[in-house]
A and B are shown apart, each in its own frame.
Chain A
Amino acid sequence: MFKMILTCLAVVMTLSAAKAEPLRIELDSPNIEPLPFAAPAFIAETAGAEQYARDLASVVAADLQGSGLFRAISQDAYISQITSFESPVQYADWKAINAQALVTGAVSTTNDGQIVVKFRLFDVFSEDQMGEGLQFVGSTNGWRRMAHKVADAVYTRITGEGGYFDSRVVYVAETGPKNARLKRLGVMDYDGANQQFLTDAQAIVLAPRFSPNGDRVIYTSYESGFPKIYVLDVASVGRRVLQDQPGTMSFAPRFAPNGQDVVFSLTTGSNTDIYRLNLDSGQRTQLTSSPAIETAPSYSPDGTKIVFESDRSGTQQLYVMDANGGEATRISFGQGRYGTPVWSPRGDLVAFTKQNRGRFHIGVMRTDGSGERLLTASFLDEGPTWAPNGRVIMFTRETAGSAGSSTLYSVDISGRNLKAVQANASDPSWSPLLK
């Protein structure tokens, strides 16, 4: 992991003459018209930084446009060129092409193999800089992360909410037909770039989940011939199996917000219940004890509650219980079956998979079960995971038939901006924002 140094640039505040409405996207408004912006190539301030200057601007633009909230104006339309990071912005030229936001940047390389990236954000119609300029310093191979950090800063300044571009996704990479599929753990940037594999394809692996700070991944593997839970250290790729009782099977693990406890399903005989294990002490606590199937547990972000699925009523439904177990309250009451609940990082919603009349949906509901909203529909959508800001969901879409395959998709929580992220992949888990 490389470190980034964040410093504020001295900013010359421009006093705006005519006060326009401040630039703002309200994420909760029912209709969002993508906001037009310009992101000219960054200024290369040293020889050898030219490629970074072009690539940084294009990744920033791709992040913003990819969110569905912004629309990049073609560089061919630009009237003004940015020739220096310090020179005054010709607002009239950017107004003329209706660029409401302008992102400018500069990049330089240092002798010890680092790059320095600076950027500024301008509200064109208010003729004002939005927030301070920022500078990122890091190794050259982390240049895409710096672009994501710029885009996150732009997103945050205009929406007032946290970003999600500087993040990674751990998932299962798949090859081969449905009845002989090979699976291995993969990790990638949130946008599908920089794919790496964390395991080989010798054994089936399922449903990896990041730890709260992204340093570990917990997942299910069949490397012993039976489903067992493993914890993998992301930096070293070293892994260890969680000890279990002989003759049992365990799966569906997920970290608690404290990073030390994990919850998972354990099957003894025909019965599957939810357990908690403290990774430090090895102490195990049984949290459910009904003869029904209890699985797919997920903590609330404050760690006090667990949402899970159970078929104790006869079909798969969602329940919330205290983090120490005990009485559970059913929260799903619509038609069909509900599974794979995941508490949002903002704490306000639960994402789930719904199965009804032969179709699968990804949906969200409030944590008391009210306000159910289905975001997708297909032959088989399942396994939602939340972006760090709780505004976007990634999930698996599998297509039907012998030639069917899995693809990762993302959609925002209003149901807009559905798009494919990575082919031949399943079971995504979104990391927190990287540091």
Chain B
Amino acid sequence: MKTLTKVALLTTTLALAACAKSPFDRSGDTAGGAGAGGFDNGGISTSALDPNSPAYFSQTIGDTVLFNVDQSTINDTARSTLAQQANWLTTNPSYTAIIEGHADEQGTREYNLALGARRAAAARDYLVANGVADSRLRTVTFGKERPLEACSTEACYAKNRRAVTVISAGVGS
């Protein structure tokens, strides 16, 4: 029985580790630290993310929403993610956030800066509409300067057309 429990826990750990391998991970891998060695040294109890941690926000809720080509409309998937982001921000009022807007490389530099700004603002507006104080949010556009994926196919472009909510500590900064 004891062995079975361990197996179940290991499965959970692996699932969380897979979660942490999200391409949007930017705050370090707090879930998967046990790794393959976790079985032997018994360090499995660290597997659960604190739901009030920025890591939970970025990995479990998801810090990123995606957009269609040349669009800044919030789609259904994005709406669900942003609703959870808004809920987290409301529950954790000591954090602020910067929302980054990004574009894929198929566009001129200046236009993509303006398009990234539209996407960041669209995500911000949705969070505000869901109860997050405007004063806790700032937007920034990176245009096509910081693609997540470097390849030049639609599969990569789709991941690059995004708004990323980056959590930072401190109220009113």
Contacts and interface: CB of A to CB of B under 8 A. Distances in A.
Interface of A: 177-179, 181, 183, 204, 206-207, 225-227, 247, 249, 251-252, 265, 267, 269-270, 272, 293, 295-296, 309, 311, 316, 339-340, 353, 355, 358, 379-380, 382-383, 398, 400-402, 404, 427
Given A340-B108, A355-B108, A380-B105, A227 B148 contact: no
B85 interface: no
B109 A267 contact: no
A181 B118 contact: no
Nearest to A308: B110
A249 B118 CA distance: 12
B150 A204 contact: no
B140 A227 contact: yes
B114 A179 contact: no
Given A227-B141, A402-B150, A249 B110 contact: no
B152 interface: yes
24 contacts: A178-B147, A178-B150, A179-B148, A181-B145, A204-B145, A204-B146, A207-B109, A207-B110, A225-B98, A251-B113, A265-B114, A272-B113, A272-B117, A295-B110, A295-B114, A296-B110, A316-B111, A340-B110, A353-B108, A355-B107, A379-B152, A382-B108, A402-B151, A402-B152
B96 interface: no
A382 B125 CA distance: 32
Given A309-B110, A427-B109, 10 more contacts: A178-B105, A206-B113, A247-B138, A270-B118, A272-B114, A293-B111, A296-B108, A296-B111, A339-B108, A383-B109
Contacts of B121: 269-270
Contacts of A380: 105-106
A404 B150 CA distance: 8
Contacts of B149: 179
Contacts of B117: 249, 267, 270, 272
Contacts of B152: 379, 400-402, 404
B110 A179 contact: no
Contacts of B150: 177-179, 401-402, 404
A231 to B, nearest CB: 18
Contacts of B122: 270
B167 interface: no
Q: Give the residue among A252, A269, A311, A383 with the most B Cβ atoms within 10 A.
A: A269
Contact of A252 (B105, B107, B110, B148): B110
B64 interface: no
B47 interface: no
A217 B139 CA distance: 27
Interface string B126-165: 0000000000001111100111111110000000000000
B59 interface: no
B82 interface: no
Given A272-B114, A353-B108, A179 B140 contact: no
